[in-house]
Amino acid sequence: VPRNYDPILHPFEVPREYTRALNATKLERVFAKPFLGSLDGHRDGVNCMAKHPKSLSTVLSGACDGEVKIWNLTKRQCIRTIQAHEGFVRGMCTRFCGTSFFTVGDDKTVKQWKMQSPEYGEEEEPIHTILGKTVYTGIDHHWKEAVFATCGHQVDIWDEQRTSPMCSLTWGFDSISSVKFNPIETYLLGSCASDRNIVLYDMRKSTPLKKVILNMRTNTLCWNPMEAFVFTAANEDYNLYTFDMRFLDSPMMVHMDHVSAVLDVDYSPTGKEFVSASFDKSVRIFPVDKGHSREVYHTKRMQHVITVKWTSDSKYILCGSDEMNIRLWKANASEKLGVLAPREKAAMNYNQKLKEKFQYHPKIRRIAQHRHLPKSIFCQIKEQRIMREARRRKELNRRKHSKPGSVPFVSERKKHIVAVVK
Amino acid sequence: GEKLVLSELLQPIRPKSALGRVRKELNRVKQKKAVELPLSKEEAQRVVREAAYVGTSKEVGRWQEVVLQHRRAEQMVFPLQQDIPTVVPLEQTASAWKARTPLEQEIFGLLHQTQQPTTDPLLTPQEVASLQAMSLEEARRRRAELQRARALQSYYEAKARREKRIKSKKYHRVLKRSRRRQALKEFELLQKSDPEAALARLEELEQLRMQERMSLKHQNKGKWARSRAIVAKYDLEARKAMQEQLAKNKELTQKVHVELPQEEPGDPPGEDLTPVTVPTVPSGAGTANPWMLGQPSHPAEGQEGLGEAMVPGADEAEAVSELAGDSLVPPVPAKELTSAGVEQSSRAQEQILLSGQLSRVQTVEDMEALASEERVEEQEQQEKRVEEEPGEQQEKPGGRPAKKPPAKRKMISLEAVMSGKLQELQCPVLPVVVEEEEGGIDQRGVITEAFAGDDVVADFQREKLKAEQAGKPQPLNLVLPGWGEWGGTGLKPSAKKVKRFLLKPPPAPPRKDRHLPNVILSEKRNIHAAAHQVSELPFPFERHQHFEQSICTPLGTTWNTQRAFQKLTAPRVITRAGHIIQPISAEDV
């Protein structure tokens, strides 16, 4: 169609586009329906989850009664159940090739299972069982080699064929709650211990590298799959801290929005966002470079969320809570799933760009950041804001009424770090 | 206690010579300095850790550039490595096959000798060699040509496949008839160009004719024909059908009339030959018989042939009329043109391409009539011009031959209009209002009277001045009479005091309507609009101008071209549905 782009013929660009942006923001809120479904079947709280490395529609979960279930996400059904341990299933991980997975439990064993269901008449038997002397609290598999690491009393690195660890890494005398391998520089490990520290290890040199001590204990950490030296730690003091491995004295970003302990964190495969699960019954999505969340998911039925995972195609979020359900959510709440026609896609892109352009205008910002919150979380937020204000006022008063320079200015980032130990 | 010294311990050894060597060793050792204490375990570990940390930091720091690039990138496409699966040609997978039997070996030996392809690859070795000999450009061109040829071939094949599947009888009948006519035409042409080939073709045609005469197909002798013959007495349709069959037979058994110029001079022209020749425009028609320029109708056409002939006939008529049009020039009535040069130039003007008319032309006869009409018209005008040329410049309004039919539409010629005398029309300057009343109420007069004292322009200027004064910031009057001087009713404070305490505000910024004398732009803040506006500069921006520019540039299709719109609204992250996004690895960078 021949068009005349003379601006005199198309006046009022800014007001017209502003109105379109306003409408787009409102419609985004109208279509924000992120909950897709729940996987029902566990008979005790879900303690840990694992993603299948090759199949997007498979997910594994371990419960507090020792049961491991394998789910098909497209049918939302459980395809396999294994009574893996007596007691909690403390951790599980899949092998990088997708043919087997490992579980550790309260019965001090590490078991390796086949990913394929057993044939008719066969019993569910692990390929391999390792009996240990102490309880193992976490497990993670190497991304490329046939090596896995467990943590409990200390961090052990095992070869798959051996029954005793290749090497044990210790630094201190506390119990370690989780261990994670770096997906990019695969010889690096990070662990969180119960004396409030995070330790980094190098597998090739068989030595720990550095320790950073925070104010409160870290529950888990997760490495960024696109940036080799970045990891995020989920802490008990309601915050998450993103660190650069080379500069541990101050975190890159402090993410504050939860009102109770943060229990689990997982990165999006694009490396731009991560999702966190908290003891306050909500799941939040944070961008890596921002200090506050862009999205919060909650349901009346969802209680304390113990574990969370972001699927490998960066479209869905799975969260397991202690009321025995695993819930499936959309990562972008108002996204239309499925194949889109080119015009639809163009319209969507245009709307997104308009929202970004006008995001600072008050009406649009108000609509875009409005989220409904359950009363408990809402009241907690208000209370914590009052507490923080009170602390800030006290600091200001102290500075005002004392010798200049005696009350130093400490940046928010450094406030939460106690020490970095070499 | 006391420190132990080595020399004291050595004293008892001195006299005995067997331990002389030992003594010497011990003396040597005494001279050396003491070895340092080994580090404690923690210290040693710390040293190792520090070194390892430094090394690992450096290794991990290799990713710094990549990470910064990804963070700053405008768009990221996931998964990072998109491998397009290529189909391995079957020849490569089946290359392990070998010839076993002696026959196979012989054949393959022959093929190999002449470098023929054994496994039917995409390019034979000769083609490969020739490609390598060519330069890149030539190779590209050649490949493009081959592609085109292959595409064309595929189209032809598809078309042929489609045509093969047509089962309609009517279509096939029509096709056969047209093919037959085509063959005869070709034969005629072939006659003129290549007599020997023409003879061969003639034989072929004779064969066909013989076949038709031999077969009894179209003679109305079969079962169907006999059944129809009974009904033909009463049924028109049946009669027609039988006649069609006979006509067909006649057509197929026609003899092809061959006109050989030198040979056979005394050949009788033929017993009952009906010459089938390509219709040609008879030469020498000239302007005397303009109707002869049309297409002569076919003598051997049956009833059903008219339908098809209409289309080719119409085409020919159009072609002929176009020809006529092209060769003629629009008429020029030379009423007031004095110079012959002007006449000549006017003759060489543009030709009429389309002639719009109100009546439709649908049959061949109409077409012919139309063509002849135009021709007659043009020729008469030509004649007219020819007559006028030698000096006669009088217009001949009625100089038309009586032959012309009365209802003729004459073409409007540009020159006639332009050179015609202008008619004077009475045009009033102002639109005249039709006065229907008899009292003569002059509305305009009434209005002007009513608003006589209303000077709109001056009023507006006064209003603008008032608005300006209202908009100006008022000076702050802090004058208090009586402090340091007499005050009271009727007394004014001194000029010094007034100068000191009358605080003038800074001058207001210039109004936006200062250059527009007919406009008042209100400078008051609009609260309803202010609710939608940004009050402070948002964080990522450092200048107001940058922020305003970013808001002013439109993004939509109304203001941008399609391509610009796509680039402006490109999403920051693109993922493929159903594809697993792996963590980045060294191969991706």
pLDDT for position A307: 97
Averaged pLDDT score across all residues of chain A: 96
Task: List domains and CATH numbers for chain A.
Answer: 9-31+342-369 (no CATH), 35-330 (2.130.10.10)
pLDDT for residue A169 is more than 70:
yes
pLDDT for position B184: 84
What's the whole-number mean pLDDT along residues A117-129?
Answer: 91
What's the whole-number mean pLDDT along residues A354-372?
Answer: 96
pLDDT tens track for A28-80: 999 999 999 999 999 999 999 999 999 999 999 999 999 999 999 999 999 99
Q: Which residue of A has its CA nearest to B533?
A: A361
pLDDT tens track for B247-296: 888 888 888 776 555 544 444 444 444 444 444 555 544 556 667 666 65
Q: Write out chain A residues lying below 8 Å of B44, CB-based.
A: none
pLDDT for position A405: 92
pLDDT for residue B346 is more than 50:
no
What's the whole-number mean pLDDT along residues B202-211?
Answer: 87
pLDDT for residue A92 is more than 90:
yes
What percent of chain B is predicted at pLDDT more than 70?
Answer: 67
pLDDT for position A354: 97
Q: Write out chain A residues lying below 8 Å of B76, CB-based.
A: 270
pLDDT for position B395: 44
Closest partner CB to B584 (pick from A207, A208, A225):
A225
* Identity of the residue numbered B345: S
Q: Do B48 and A312 count as a contact with CB atoms less than 8 A apart? A: no
ipTM (interface pTM): 0.94
Tokens, residue B453: 């004292």
Report the distance separating Cα B438 and Cα B444, nearest Å.
16
Q: Do B575 and A358 count as a contact with CB atoms less than 8 A apart? A: no
Q: Write out chain A residues lying below 8 Å of B559, CB-based.
A: 5, 7, 10, 13
pLDDT tens track for B409-459: 667 877 777 777 777 777 666 666 565 555 567 888 898 888 888 888 999
- Residue B126 confidence class, pLDDT cut points 50, 70, 90: confident
Rounded to the nearest angstrom, the minimum Cα separation between A376 and chain B is 32
- What's the pTM value of the predicted model, to 2 decimals? 0.63
Name B383's Cβ contacts closer than 8 Å, sequence gap at least 6.
none
Report the distance separating Cα B420 and Cα B427, nearest Å.
20
Of A184, A189, A89, the closest CA to residue A148 belongs to: A189
pLDDT for residue B316 is more than 80:
no
Closest partner CB to B46 (pick from A346, A363, A422):
A422
Tokens, residue A151: 């943590």
Of A57, A76, A33, the closest CA to residue A311 belongs to: A57
3-state SS, residue B414: helix
Comparing B220 with A280, the larger pLDDT belongs to: A280
Q: Do B60 and A314 count as a contact with CB atoms less than 8 A apart? A: no
Q: Write out chain A residues lying below 8 Å of B575, CB-based.
A: 270, 313-315
Comparing B358 with B517, the larger pLDDT belongs to: B517
pLDDT for position B345: 43
Q: What is the DSSP track for B203-269? A: HHHHHHHHHHHHS-TTSS-SHHHHHHHHHHTT-HHHHHHHHHHHHHHHHHTPPPP---SSS-TT---
Q: Do B584 and A350 count as a contact with CB atoms less than 8 A apart? A: no
What's the whole-number mean pLDDT along residues B189-205?
Answer: 84
What's the whole-number mean pLDDT along residues A128-133?
Answer: 94
Closest partner CB to A56 (pick from B535, B580, B583):
B580
Q: Do B580 and A346 count as a contact with CB atoms less than 8 A apart? A: no
- Give the best-scoring range by mean pLDDT among A119-128, A234-243, B340-349, B523-532: A234-243
pLDDT tens track for B82-100: 777 777 777 666 666 677 8
Tokens, residue B386: 């020819």
Q: Write out chain A residues lying below 8 Å of B49, CB-based.
A: 207-210, 422
Report the distance separating Cα A334 and Cα A31, nearest Å.
5
pLDDT for residue A103 is more than 90:
yes
pLDDT for position B367: 60
Dump strand ranges (E) for A224-363.
230-235, 239-244, 253-256, 262-267, 273-278, 283-287, 295-297, 305-310, 316-321, 325-330
pLDDT for residue B67 is more than 70:
yes
How many Cβ atoms from other residues are within 10 Å of residue B342's Cβ? 15
Report the distance separating Cα A109 and Cα A291, nearest Å.
40
Comparing B386 with B166, the larger pLDDT belongs to: B166
Q: Do B584 and A354 count as a contact with CB atoms less than 8 A apart? A: no
Q: Write out chain A residues lying below 8 Å of B61, CB-based.
A: 229, 246
pLDDT for residue B520 is more than 50:
yes
Q: Do A270 and B534 count as a contact with CB atoms less than 8 A apart? A: no
Name B243's Cβ contacts closer than 8 Å, sequence gap at least 6.
none
Rounded to the nearest angstrom, the minimum Cα separation between A228 and chain B is 7
How many Cβ atoms from other residues are within 10 Å of residue B281's Cβ? 13
pLDDT for position B323: 46
> Out of B16-20, B238-242, B256-260, which region has the weakest mean confidence (pLDDT)?
B256-260
Tokens, residue B78: 């996931």
pLDDT for residue B572 is more than 90:
yes
pLDDT for residue B200 is more than 70:
yes
